[in-house]
Structure 1
Amino acid sequence: MKTIQSRLLIMLLLFIILPYFLSMLLIYRQTRENVEQHELENSREQIGQASEDLEQYFDDIVNLPYILYRNPDLFMIFEKGFESSLYLNQLEIYKGMTTFYLMRNEIRQVRLYIEEGKNSFTVYNAMISARKRQPDLLKQASIQKLIKSDSNFLIEPPHQIENYNDTAIIPPSDKTMVLTIHHKILDALSKEFLGIITIDINLDKFARISNHFIQKNKESVLLSDSEGHVIYASDEAMIGKAVPAELKKKINQSAAGALFSNGDIIFSRTLSEPLNQWHFVKITSSKFLFSDVRKTAYTNIIVGVIVGVLGVIMIAIISYKITRPIKLLSRKVLSIEGGNMNAPFDDKREDEIGNLEKHIKEMMSRINRHIDREYKLEIENRKNQHRALKSQINPHFLYNSLQSIGAVALFSESPRVYQLVVSLSKMMRYAIRVDQQATVRSEVDYVRAYLNLQEERFQTDFSYSIDIPEDILDISVPSMILQPLVENFFKHCYEEGFEQAHLRIYGEVRGEYLNLVVENNGRSMTSDELAALKNKIYTPAYEGNYSPQHIGLKNIHDRLVLNYDPTAGILLDSMQGQGFSVKLVIPFYLKEE
């Protein structure tokens, strides 16, 4: 017989030596492809994150002028013109434009043009210029394009900062490249054109967002607008110029993914509002991208050789370490089969064998507890039977005594007393056969006798109804399952002040089940009380939280489950606070032997 140790030795040899020769041929190519895909996916995620940051940044910038609508005094100048109150308007213009200029660090210049009066003001370095009339401002091409468009803003390509009002406010030494955003000011209700605010921002924020995801001198980025102008590029010489035709063609081809061209990999993404049809491009040298791939492949080959050699050396040690505890565990299992239920198991090991021994030890502990519990239940069952025998009295003696009392009642012309004695006698006779099978008819007759006695006891006509179809009266059921439910009605409802409550007993057949229902419209239960009652009734008697309360309901439930199967039993319902219902569910397909 082949042992596990010999089989494991053969498998280890096959899975180390043969794969070693194959790995020499395949590992470089496979590793290269996997790492390439990983790097490409990382680049896609990076360009996607940078694109989202750019879209969010531009959305903040182009919506910045809407803050002016919150300044009613400044907005009134747009509506009535600057000349309406020169002194006050000059103060408000100074305060409003200076505040707006200082809101973002990247703002280099702000121009405010008021259509009423054709006046404009410029803020540079937190200094406001003198008022200047510019009646020809709206004739500029970019302004004309903005006025005719449905959009409220227009973005011009980057250019060197210029002096809008031809004042000495901007020094000649300032050669900063800025991006210009023109924004229309409209009346909120009439949409009347009131003026234009022009914002010049530097490109530092673009550089930080774009260069955050690239490695300097190894990768480059480019941001172009919908008309093909370079908004920002790692090569500063390209900023503000048109994208070269050859590069523009490659950008359009790479819009759906990566494009490999002349040793470079071009990733392109088309941006959405407010940068609709803009392109953000990342260009990566393939030599840089795949340098780590080659290093990883060579490293894997070297490691594979080392691991192969070490694997052959360690085969004997590994096989011995694995098979020895398996053999010991096998001997312990054989001792259990021989009857040793307390075989020792080592559950201190931290490997798979240790976990297996721990689980077997727990299983044996549960089996021993189960055997012990069944033994105790058998002892308890015998004690209960003994107590039941001791508590019995001779029912035939009581029955004969009741017959004698009934005869005396008739002789004394007391027919009502005779009827009560007959009812009690029927109940006693039925109680003699409590452990035998009964029928629905006999159960109903027993309940009627009980209700007859209760009518005499309370001397009132309480309300009840019994609606049992004729076709189910002869169905066999366990005895004494209805009367305890009716008795609970008097104990927990009628005697506690619900004298107007109606007791209803009815039966029906649903599929393969007989349902007998006892319900009333008097006292009900809260959801917490109902949950607690169900827990007591459905809890097995041998569990620690078993409660002797509600023994009648629990006894009926346990008898039905014992006589049939777990689908039988009782169902409780608080009737949404309008009463209480107990349903007995009795299957047809499995009867007591």
Structure 2
Amino acid sequence: MNKKISFKEELKRSLIVHALTPCFILCIICVLGFILIASVNIYRNNNIYALNSREKLERELNSYIENTSHIAKDINIGNFQRNKQYKVDVIEGVYNFLNQKNIKAQFYIFNNNFDILYSTERSEDKKNFIKYQVTGSEMKFIGESSNIIYIYGGNRVENTPISSYLIVKPIIRDNEFAGLCIYELELKNLDVVFNNTNSTVLLVNKFHRVIYSNSRRFVDDRNKIIKNFRDRSGIIFNDGDLIYISSNKVDYTDTWIYVITDCSIYLNISIIMLLLIIAVTIIMSAAISSSAGKFSAKKTAIIYQLIDALKQVEDGKLDINLNIESDDEFKSIGHSFNMMLGSIRHLIERHDKMALENNMAIVQMMESQFNPHFLFNTLESIRYLVKFNPKVADKTVVNLSKLLRYSIQNTVDTVRFKEEFDFVKRYIEIMKVRFGERLEFNDNISEDVKEVSVPKMIIQPIVENAVKYGFGENVEVLRIEISAYIEDEKLYIIVKDDGVGIDKDLLKDLVFNLNEKYNSSDHIGLYNVHKRIELLYGIDYGLEINSEAGKGTKVVLVLPEIFE
């Protein structure tokens, strides 16, 4: 049998779980997000840099290969040896080419006996070394028609280690070997390619020998890339460090570019963040457990107070008052509970009165909707228009029929504001047929008002009064404006005209009459509208009249914001 858990304890547990879970999830998401962003950033930066460096190096090599082929194709070794001006022109072209390159190189021309005819290199030791390399590979060059990239390194000239690319092109004339064109690119000049990076960059040959590096961190004693990194890519753990490697083969050569990024700092940050999450979780658990216990005790005490009050209401006691000392929604509940009991008492008292007043209001509403004078004038206008303007007459008949149909639909008491407003606009269009340009109408309706529920036919009587009493001897044009907006959960409908206005004494009588139990004036429409609103929604809602003789009248309808 399961042990019964009190609401207080269940609330406490729920608060702890719901407080800690989002925090924990958020922390985990932050850590995972950091790891993901860091990984993507490292991967993207590393691979993009490696790819861009490879492409940059290949472009340089390709341009040297093309230039070598061009020179080998066009040069005449005999003229180069005998004609001084020809030699100057060839060498000038070489220097022009070299001056445009980011990676500097030395240029050599050999004859068919592998003697150096010309070189941009000043060091004799270096010249002899290059000649030695070329002579040792004599059979490799003679008869070849394609470019050869040759790598050598680890040797010393003038106590300086050499590591270079040789770009060789044989000079073939009449199917016979006539000499060689060579560019020598010292790899120490590759700093212009592998700059602007915090990663380690290694240029490695097929024997894993490092022929260029911007750091010796991952190079062993034999000048080779460390064994754990050879032919590897991706994430690697090495001696407790987290390393990311990307490698790309360089075209035309048997060399690879390794870009190595140390990710240990990101791993350490992730571990620290996880430890912080654990520590924060422990501290928050203790703090939340304490505060949740106090909170649950306080709130359950209020709930038991509510339960006790509801039991009294259930027993028929309606004169109780619930006093909740709280600054949150429970205080609103207590206030609403008291208001509800007050409303129940008030509803019981005015139930009979409402039935009588509602019947009276409905009868008066029907009497004030379309008086015979309005119908007579409209029909007279239609009769006149049928002869002189049939289209307007047809539109007026349609408007009048829709007005009548709307007014006699007794199946509903409330409609959406936009339906009520359409009814009023049709009424004004009919009035414009009668008054023509003497009647102007404007509206200023907020979009959020159109779906609000309002009592049926509460605006038309106000507009009818504005037309009926607004014109005077000095009023050439009567302007009527209808505005509607929502403020503080109340709907305000304003009908304003610039007509003759209402005399001060008459206005005082009208305002006084609105608060009387029975209508004692001839203004049935205003009284009927006010009482209908008051009976439906309470004394906080109704109709307000403001007017000044000679300046016009403004009627404000105040209703609750209700969507039905």
Task: Say yes or no: TM over 0.5.
Answer: no
What is the TM-score normalised by the length of structure 1?
0.40
What is the TM-score normalised by the length of structure 2?
0.41
